Every structure is written in C-alpha cells, then in structure tokens.
Chain A
Amino acid sequence: MTTAPRAIGLPVGRLPRQTRRRSSGEHLWRWGMMLPILALLIGMTLLPLCALLILSFSNVTWQNARPILTSAGLANFAALLHDSLFLASIRNTLVFAAAAVSIEIVLGLVLALALGAVRRGKDFYTTAFMLPILLPGIVIGAIWALMYNPDFGIVDASLGALGLPAHDWLGNPGTALGAIVAVDVWHWTPFCFLLLYAAVESLPTDVFEAARIDGASAWQRCRYIALPLLAPTILVVLAFRAIIAFKVFDEVYLLTSGGPGTTTEVVSLTIYRRFFVEDHAGSGAAMSIVAFLVLGAVTLAAMRMIRKRQAR
C-alpha cells in the first residue's frame, strides 16, 4: 500500500484507447456486479436512516397498542442543546476516542516496527499479539471490571505487591475514563498492530539498505523513510479505528455504565438508554443523527489535518 489512491483502491493510470470501447455485455456485468452491494446498502442502510430521520422530527406515543406519530419539528434537537447528559457523552466520546486511538496507533506502530526488526520469535509474538482480537467486547469488559476491583482485583493486588497504594480506578471520577481507555488499548492495539505490521512487511528493503550504507542511524531510517512510506496506511487505520472507537459500547456497559457521575458516559450508552430503556424514540433518533454528524465532522477534520502535515 504505497500511495493513498492505491491504498483505497482507486484505479491508477489510464488504459490504451482501443480498450476503452465498452460492449453491451460488459455494461451488464459492470452494473450486475454492483447490484448486490447496492441492494444491501439501500435495504439495510438507506431505509433505516430515512426512518431514523423521520423519527427524529416526531414524538411517538402508544394508544390502544397503536403508535401515534406527532410532528415535533426541531423540538427533539433543540432539547439536546440543554441535555447535559448528551453533551457530556459527546465530550467523553471524543476524548476517549482521541486518547485511545492515538495510543493504539503509536503502540501498534512501535510493535510492528520492533517485530520487523527481529529475526526470531516472529510467530510467537504475532500469535500473542493477535489473541485479544478473539474475545468479545463484553467478556473483556467483565473480566477487566473484576481486575480493576479495588477490593479483590488483580490490578490493585499487583500494585500492592510492588508497594504502591491501591486505587479505585473505575470508581474515582478522575481516573474512570482513563481506566476504560486502558482497556480499549488492550483490546484494539492488536488490530492496529496487525494492519501496520502487514504494511511494514511490504516496505521495500532496498531503500533501507541504501540508507544504512549511507550511514543513517536506525532512528533516522525510521523517521525519514519508514514513517512517510507508512503514512497512507496509518491514515486508513486511524480512520477505521476512530470510527469504531466512537461507537464503543460493550466495555463501558459492563465496566462503569457511564458513571461515576457522567464521567464515562459515551454516546452509544446514552442513545441505548434513551431508545431502549426510556422508550423515547424521537429523542434517541435525534441523538443518533447529531452524534453521527459531530463525529463525522471531527473525523474528516482530523484526517484533513493529518494529510496536510503529511504533505509538508
């Protein structure tokens, strides 16, 4: 994955003129091959999103087992501006994603480069690093909740063995979000590592050899050759991880359920409670749309900023 357009599969280069004639058969294939994805996307994404949009402008009540949709205009959206819980959830989600994703990419990169630099033990390390991907998020949440427990968890027990004081990581408003970031790092660094390692393995060795012969240190080779070559992959991994991080639900549900106070309330949790527990479909839909717009805008801005620094 060498250049950004290729990294996302855009066709590169133009073909000779005579092959640009299209037969009608090819036309059929061209569209025919796109049909499955279009069907899936329209059926499973477009329709629900339209329904969501309609819901966000309505109030739903039930009478005689029938739903009654009344138009609420922008009321649901306006209410969100005063909803301290929702605002806290957006803020927490952004902070969480920024912290978690940046740590995971850095760690993943470090591990990928380190693995690229060693000759023996590659199999063992790759297997060890890929194991956390196999666990469902809720198992990770439950197990880490137990490990973090200040009364009988292993984290504080280990700290105690080292002579450090025990600390209620999840119960303390100051450290709760950080503790969850740590769990997420444990969960997702392997994913970043995997994709980055594949990219590291495909780096051309001749450029590095030439640099080494010219006397460049390992650090210089890394900074000035490896990183720029890996940049497109890093960008894509960043985008993917950020989007997944914004939707975090499983771990937080089991670790803290949004508490203490509102310090670990994330958007998915708030939406879940609004929709499924409190049964306020209109408000839940409005939340989903606002969340998606905010998070989308942030992702695009971040990617543009990184690409600009790239180009420098």
Chain B
Amino acid sequence: MSRRSRMALLPHGVLMLAALCFLGPFVWIALAGFKTQIALLTSQIVFHPTLRNFHDVLFSGTSDYLHQCLDSLIIASGSAVLDLAVATLAAFSLNRMRWPAWCTIAAIGWTAVFHMVPPITLASAWYAMFRPLGLDNSYVGMILAHATMNLPLTLWLMLAFIADIPTEILEAARIDGAQPAQVLWRIVVPLVRPGLGAAAVLAFIFSWNEFPVALTLTQRATATVPVGVASFAQDAEIQYPQMAATALLSILPATVLLLAARRLIVKGLTVGAVK
C-alpha cells in the first residue's frame, strides 16, 4: 500500500476506534435491558432474555414512565421554545439595535457567571420563590427554571448566528421602511432557521436530561424521566436492568430525532449555512 493510501486510512482508523468506544456502552446498555438482575450482576454473556424489565418500567404500579415521558416532553419543549424566543429577541436587539458593546458583554457575562453557580443551590432558592406562587410542582415553574439554565448556550448561539447575517440585507429592509419586528420575523428568522433548529435541539436535550433541579422542583405530577430513572437507584439496591430498560426506551425517540435532525444540527451550527 502506498504511503498516501495508508495516510488516507489513518483518519478512518481513528474515527472507527472512537465510534467503537462510544457505541460499545450503548450495546451493553441495550443488552442489559433484557437481562435479569442476577444475570447482569454475574456478567452472563449467554443469558435468557426477559421482557420483565420493560414490563416493570411501562406497566407496573410503582413506575410512572409514560407519564414522566409526557412531563419531560412538555417541560423540554416548553423551555426550548421559551429559550429560543427570549434569546433570539435579545440577540437581535443586542446585535442589531446599536447597544454599546459593553451591553452585549454584560449580558453574556451575566448569563455565564450565573451559569457557574451550582444549580443545586439555585434549586432551593427557586423552590422557596415558587411555593407561595403555587409554581412548585408545576410545568410553568420547571419551564422557567430550565429556560434560565439553558439561556447562556442559546443566547450565545443566536448571537453568533445573527451576527453573521450580512448587514446589507437588513439595511435594505430598513430603508424599505420595515419595522424591527418585521425585519426580525420576515428576514432574520428564515435566514437563521438551521441555527434555530440546532439551538432548539440542544436546549431540548439538556432540559430532558437535567436532574438535580428537576428532583427538587417536581413531585409525582410533574416528575421527569431522569427523576424516574433515579428512583431505580435505591439505598439497598440499584435496579440496573430497569434503569437500562428506561434508558433504552428514552433513547429510541431521541435517536430518531437525532437521525432526522443530525444534518440540520451540523448545518445549523456551521455559520456557512447562513450565507
């Protein structure tokens, strides 16, 4: 083999190795979902598959999985939409409506700084704030909490995307007499649509997976999937097969979403898409 073709294989080798490392545990989790607990604990390679774990997760009296999926769906979509709306409005204003540069830095700085406070401490403060307002154990409260937590990422992404829109397009619109709202809605949003998609998917995933704040702010009526998964980790027993089954059930819709949106995400994050 010529040196050139050997060199060409190098990136493939690296990528293949990485893919195996990332996929390996998934395969293991998938198998674990079908094992009995003792089979899993004794690392049986040849085992009798059972559907009992999936049955426990979906239909037993102690598990609330389907309801938790619904809760997670509502909270994740709600907070993603809220994040996008707030971030896009703010990004457009900061970037295109002639605020002094320090304002943008302050906005990003504040969100980043606040981002550094462990969410655990904020959770208790939020609970204390929400309870008198009746927002604890409510979708609205959780949506506000998750939107705030994911705001730094969405704000940064939307600022980057909006910054890359050529000024001439927006100027032309303004000369034509368009109001800022129309400029935003008719021109900016269509141009950054891939970016919106990417930001939305990331915000959705982060909200879906979030655990400590959800644990504090929700009860049975609004519990999310991670809270449900945590209930399998008990003090005398960690019910791994049920956890694996839940993980598998949760990954399936997310994987479908990923497969469909994968190109969109990469495209969206690539600034070149705007041009």
Residues of A that sit less than 8 Å from B by CB = 1, 6-13, 15, 19-20, 22, 25-26, 29-30, 33-34, 36-37, 40-41, 43-45, 47-49, 51-52, 107, 110-111, 113-115, 117-118, 121, 123-139, 142-147, 152-154, 157, 186, 190, 194-195, 197-199, 201-202, 218, 236, 239-240, 243, 246-247, 249-250, 254, 267-268, 271-272, 275-276, 281, 284-285, 288, 291-292, 295-296, 299
Contact = CB atoms under 8 A, between A and B. Distances in A.
B151 A131 contact: no
A139 B247 contact: yes
A135 B226 CA distance: 9
Given A20-B98, A134-B205, A128 B240 contact: no
Contacts of A247: 116, 118-119
A15 B41 CA distance: 67
Contact of B120 (A127, A145, A271): A271
A34 B101 contact: no
Given A123-B262, A143-B243, A52 B209 contact: no
Contact of B104 (A9, A41, A133, A201): A9
Contacts of B91: 9
Nearest to B10: A114
B126 interface: yes
B230 A41 contact: no
A292 B19 contact: no
B212 A37 contact: no
A44 B255 contact: no
Contact of A147 (B25, B96, B158): B25
A298 B207 CA distance: 27
A49 B272 contact: no
B209 A136 contact: yes
A139 B125 contact: no
Given A26-B180, A45-B122, A243-B116, 11 more contacts: A1-B160, A9-B104, A10-B105, A10-B163, A33-B180, A114-B12, A129-B19, A143-B28, A146-B238, A239-B112, A271-B118
B92 A33 contact: yes
Contacts of B258: 127, 130-131, 134
A200 to B, nearest CB: 9
Given A15-B167, A276-B124, A249 B118 contact: yes
B233 A202 contact: no
Contact of B159 (A8, A26, A199, A246): A8
Contacts of B169: none
A44 B265 contact: no
Given A126-B266, A143-B29, A117 B11 contact: yes
Given A118-B12, A121-B15, A218-B7, A268 B22 contact: no
16 contacts: A9-B91, A9-B94, A25-B179, A49-B125, A115-B11, A131-B26, A136-B225, A139-B243, A198-B271, A202-B272, A249-B118, A250-B211, A275-B120, A276-B216, A285-B121, A299-B116
Which DSSP category, helix, strand, loop or mixed, fits chain B's interface? Answer: helix
Contacts of B80: none
A11 B96 contact: yes
Contacts of A268: 118, 120, 212
B58 interface: no
Interface stretch (B48-56, B59-67, B140-148): B140-148
Contacts of A146: 32, 40, 238, 240
Interface in B46-95: 85-87, 89-95
A1 B240 CA distance: 43
A66 B160 CA distance: 49
A307 to B, nearest CB: 14
A142 B238 contact: yes
B247 A13 contact: no
B121 A134 contact: no
B93 to A, nearest CB: 4
Interface in B180-219: 180-181, 184, 205, 208-212, 216
A96 B159 CA distance: 30
B252 to A, nearest CB: 10
B262 A136 contact: no
A41 B111 contact: yes
B221 interface: no
Contact of B90 (A36, A138, A239): A36
Given A6-B163, A249-B120, A154 B151 contact: no
Given A114-B11, A138-B226, A37 B266 contact: no
Contacts of B171: 15, 19
